[in-house]
Amino acid sequence: MNGYEKALIVSNDVATHIQNHGRETYPNECCGALIGIGNFVGECLSLPNTTEEGPRRRFLVNPHDYRAAERHATESGYTLIGFYHSHPDHPARPSQYDLAHAWPEFTYVIIAVEKGKPGAMTSWRLREDRSAFDEGHIERRNG
């Protein structure tokens, strides 16, 4: 099938955090970890964009920060669900570069930031055969 079945449930606090992070780092890309349980994201962690390829169109979470985020999730009794990043002045759709670097099982949230203003927020998962991403719904909840 195309599109994955379960909606990603995102608390309003998390959605606001991602929007603010995208606004603050504009025109560069922001990135961070999504933490929660199942398909619910209850917390997110802003992470440094450590890319050396130009942060206006690339992001990189270094292994040290990845390990810290995974450890934080585990110690909190939750799971590292995936990562978010922004697309400054680009649509909230994953690129070929995103695809080449994607991991299975993770959910990727992308927020478009147009001229510094946060816009559409979308959610994606890598297909099992790594051929493409499928989009899922995002549901926002209070909290």
Partner 1 sequence: MANDVLIPTPLRAYVGKQDVVQVDGETVGELLQNLTAKYSELQNHLYNEDGRLRSFVNVYLNDDDIRYLQKEDTPVAEGDTISIVPSVAGGTGSVATGLSR
Residues that bind partner 1 (CB under 8 A): 2-3, 29, 31, 51, 53, 57-63, 66-67, 70, 73, 79-80, 83, 85, 87-88, 90-91, 93-99, 101-106, 108, 124, 127, 129-135, 137
- How far apart, in whole angstroms, are the C-alpha atoms of residue 2 and residue 61? 28
Q: What is the sign of the dihedral through the CA atoms of 64, 116, 3 and 101?
A: negative
Nearer to partner 1, 12 or 37 (CB): 37
| Rounded Cα–Cα distance for residues 37 and 122 (Å) | 19
DSSP H or E segment with residue 127? none
Shortest Å, Cβ 109 to partner 1: 11
Residue type, 82: G
In the complex, the smallest distance separating the C-beta of residue 94 from partner 1, rounded to whole angstroms, is 5
Which of 34, 1, 18, 37 is CA-nearest to residue 134?
1
Q: Which is nearer to partner 1, 3 or 143 (CB)?
A: 3
Q: Which helix (H) or strand (E) holds 118?
A: strand 117-126
Return the number of the residue (53 or 139) whose C-beta is nearest partner 1.
Answer: 53
For 96, phi and psi rounded to 5 degrees? Answer: -60, -35
Q: How far is the CB of 55 from partner 1 (least distance, A)?
A: 9
Closer to partner 1 by Cβ: residue 11 or 28: 28
**What's the closest the beta carbon of residue 142 comes to partner 1, in angstroms?**
25
